[in-house]
Chains A and B, each alone.
Chain A
Amino acid sequence: MNIQGKAKEQMTYDAIVVGSGISGGWAAKELCEKGLKVLMLERGRDIKHITGYETAGKNPWDFPHRGKVDNMAREEYWANVRTGYTANEEHRHHFENDKAHPYLEKRSFDWIRGYHVGGRSLMWGRQSYRWNEKDFTANIEDGHGIDWPIRYKDLAPWYSYVETFIGVSGYKEGLDVLPDGNFQPGMEMNCVEKEVRNSVQKKFNGRHVTIGRTAHITAPTQIQTELGRVSCQYQNACMRGCQFGAYFSTQSATLPAANKTGNLTLMADKIVYQVIFDDEKGKAVGVKTIDQNTNEQMDFYSKIIFLNASAINSAWIMMQSKSKTHPNGLGNESDQLGRNIMDHHLAVGASGTFEGMEDMYYYGRRANGVYIPRFTNWGSDKRKDFVRGFGYQGGASREGWGRGNYKEGFGADFKESITTPGQWTFGIGGFGETLPDENNRFTLSADKDKWGLPIVQFDAAWGDNAIKMREAMQNEAAEMLEAAGLKNINSYNDMSKNPGIGIHEMGTARMGRDKKTSVLNANNQVWGASNVFVTDGAAMVSASCVNPSLTYMALTARAADFAVKELKKMNI
């Protein structure tokens, strides 16, 4: 459809934000609050806050299969079943049907998507950690990948800005390795977690156990209350969507904030597949979309464009955005587009039983655990086998009725025995940093999806550094648990998981210091298309070992601020 004159005017905005997930929501909020007329385009369906959460508040017996994956779902959600939880009956509808949205694997990759308003901000793990100073210098220090064009100090004020708005609960620990933020009161540890914290900190110099820093509000601010958000009610059914708006999501926070300005237009069902680049003007002028239901093609125009479609899909759009100026895809002079896919490797750790505290229990379902920050290759700790490090997430609980599956017996006494709280167990699982590697990539295959758009083909694997790191992740976990006095310690290292399992895809359009080695500059502008910004996981230059979403949000707020200033100066 070729639109001219007045019609085109109606399709024109100050800014277009592609994607409505955790970073897209932030881009929309910031740009709207700065007075821009913003169009946010989402490829999936709309999900309304609260009323759109189909399974929120349901009881276990309301689910026919009590949460299990049935055979039909197992076939349709063929990638999701690999995670072991995203295809679950209670929240499967928030994840993508892989059969309807296929992808190809030269080497296996778990691509777990959420195509709907809110994206994966509706189902994210909510763990929110700042990167530390060394995370930004790691590449230049050990020679993997390229140097970050920014440092911790560039992002620190934006971390504070983001934390204040979203609400992060946690303890201030004063650690260089895990910088403190602007926290609401941290959730309480249970008795055994407190014991383990004390033992580990006493017996290991420089190791710490803190409560998970999580984007759940525990003492709402006025701004949060005005957005309709309420303190965490400890249901632990977050991935279904929260009726209380207690955890941060697009729906609970950035979308209502953007709507308040009157500057936002949100359109769902619009698949953006191309940025329109005007070779004469030397800049992008809009985007091409196709409606996921009607196949209707529409172009939209704007002065600036934020790509927040997720690491893979933002790069996928850029690959399809070829012009005379950008013959290899938008900003792809370096040929780095789609490369350097990073994730966090996991499914390695240890667990054990705790003797004692038999008269102690807990109340409420805390959707959070404890966190042990990185300690390897940090300070005086030097490892020969691998660079960088890992953190652990974990926690303690008392065994429930599930232990009956592994216990001999049946009948009245058996029933009675498994309905009383069992022994305390404590476990930790690692999240390890992966290194940027050009050979971990995706490309556009010749195959097309049902809209005639190219299907993504992955080609990625864990590197040697990660494989060696995992041995330490397993052994150190067991050692710490032993030192903490746990018994029956069992450690594991499950190598069967593919990259992508952490659902932290990063690096496919990395930032950098020059267009020969990177796709974006220090302000997330695309090289050669300075009015296009990419601020989702694609922008990441390295992976750290902490959960990345907080950093995406900080990068987005920073880039939006820069973009509007540049716009006012008529620089873009």
Chain B
Amino acid sequence: MNRRDAMQRVAFLMGGALSAPTMIAMLEGCKSNTATEAATSGFSFSTDYKNLVSEIAEIIIPKTTTPGAKDAGVGPFIEMMLKDCYNETQQEHFKKGLDNLEETAKKDFGGKKFLELTPEQQTTLLKKFEQMAMAETKENEQPKKIVDNETGLVKDPKTAEPRENEKAKKVVPPVPFFKLMKELTLLGYFTSEAGAKNALAYVAIPGRYEGCVKMTPGQKVWAL
């Protein structure tokens, strides 16, 4: 379990009282260092990529007995989130991920586009990308380099004095393509009305608290 994981488990303890969306924001908050650039950027997907992102989201969270990612508008949500909440480096990294997916589809499956593949082929390809994302994450979780803004020297974070960090900023690598694709799909789906009300147990105003309740068959996770 990494630190972020541990923080997630105790995040709601700060002040005793952070709501689920707050916790998510706290842990998954945008990692932009150059807000102005990104805030004014005209980021958008081509029509092809809009469709591609919607389809990948639907493969991650398909329609079953409950609505799927498309029903919840996850495709447009991801595009909007990338535009509004992420920096240019992350936006470009994500687009490169989509480029790479199309190139790999062509290479592995006789020149076909991702959307022309069979569902099995699409799954195979996405599994490959999930493995790549996991490897990239592992690489990123190696002790982060700390670069002193003034001297340009790289420091070992283990020996850097805590106060020294003020002058230095951490080099935060972009979130791997598939990892971010999946995170935004889950966020977009489970916080949507379609997802929260159908796939989860949603109660807007519980009215009371009971600490120990026997689960009923088919009990879903609380949406909040």
Residue positions of A touching B, CB distance < 8 A? 57, 59-61, 63-72, 74-75, 81, 84-85, 88-90, 107-108, 124-127, 187-191, 193-194, 212, 214, 232-239, 346, 349-351, 359-369, 393-395, 397-398, 400-402, 404-406, 408-412, 414-416, 418-422, 425-429, 461, 467, 488, 490-492, 494-496
The minimal Cβ–Cβ distance linking B145 to chain A, given in whole angstroms, is 15
10 A-B interface contacts by CB (under 8 A): A64-B84, A66-B21, A236-B19, A394-B13, A397-B12, A401-B200, A402-B23, A402-B24, A404-B182, A422-B221
Contact code string B96-118 (vs A, CB < 8 Å = 1, else 0): 00000000000000000000000
B residues within 8 A CB of A235?
Answer: 204-206
Find the A residue at minimum CB distance from B216.
A361
**Known pairs A68-B30, A71-B38, A427-B10; A125 contacts B15 (CB<8 A):** yes
Q: Which residue of A lies closest to B8 (CB)?
A: A402
A427-B13 in contact (CB<8A): yes
- Verify A65–B84 contact, CB threshold 8 A: yes
| Contact, CB under 8 Å: A361 / B13 | no
- 9 closest A-B pairs by CB: A125-B15, A427-B10, A67-B21, A364-B209, A188-B211, A364-B206, A75-B35, A60-B191, A190-B211
Q: Is the Cβ of A488 less than 8 Å from the Cβ of B208?
A: no
- Taken residue by residue from 189 to 224, chain B's Cβ proximity to chain A (1 for < 8 Å, 0 otherwise) reads as 011110010011001111111111111000111111
B32 at the binding interface (Cβ < 8 Å):
yes
Stretch at the interface among B47-55, B59-67, B147-155: B59-67
Do the beta carbons of A65 and B85 come within 8 Å of each other? yes
Whether the Cβ atoms of A85 and B25 lie closer than 8 Å is yes
Contact of B221 among A189, A395, A420 (CB under 8 A): A420
Determine if A496 and B221 form an interchain contact, defined as CB atoms under 8 angstroms apart. no
Q: Given the interface contacts A187-B209, A427-B9, does A61 sit within 8 Å of B191 by beta carbon?
A: yes
Cα distance A90–B23 in the bound complex, in angstroms: 12
Do the beta carbons of B17 and A238 come within 8 Å of each other? yes
- Establish whether residues A393 and B13, one from each chain, have CB atoms under 8 Å apart when the complex forms: yes
Shortest CB-to-CB span from B69 to chain A, Å, is 9
A15 to chain B minimum Cβ distance, whole angstroms, is 32
Q: With A393-B16, A404-B182, A405-B186 in contact, do A68 and B39 touch (Cβ < 8 Å)? A: no
CB pair A351–B10 under 8 Å, yes or no, is yes
In the assembled complex, how far is the CB of residue A419 from the closest CB belonging to chain B, in whole angstroms?
5
Inter-subunit contact A405/B211 (CB<8 Å): no
Q: Shortest CB–CB separation between residue A29 and chain B, in angstroms?
A: 24
Query: With A68-B85, A188-B210, A190-B212 in contact, is A420–B220 under 8 Å at CB?
Result: yes
Those of B47-93 within 8 Å (CB) of chain A: 59-62, 64, 80-81, 84-87
Contact indicator B16/A363 (Cβ below 8 Å):
no
CA distance A175 to B10 in the complex (A): 26
Contacts of B140 in A (CB 8 A): none
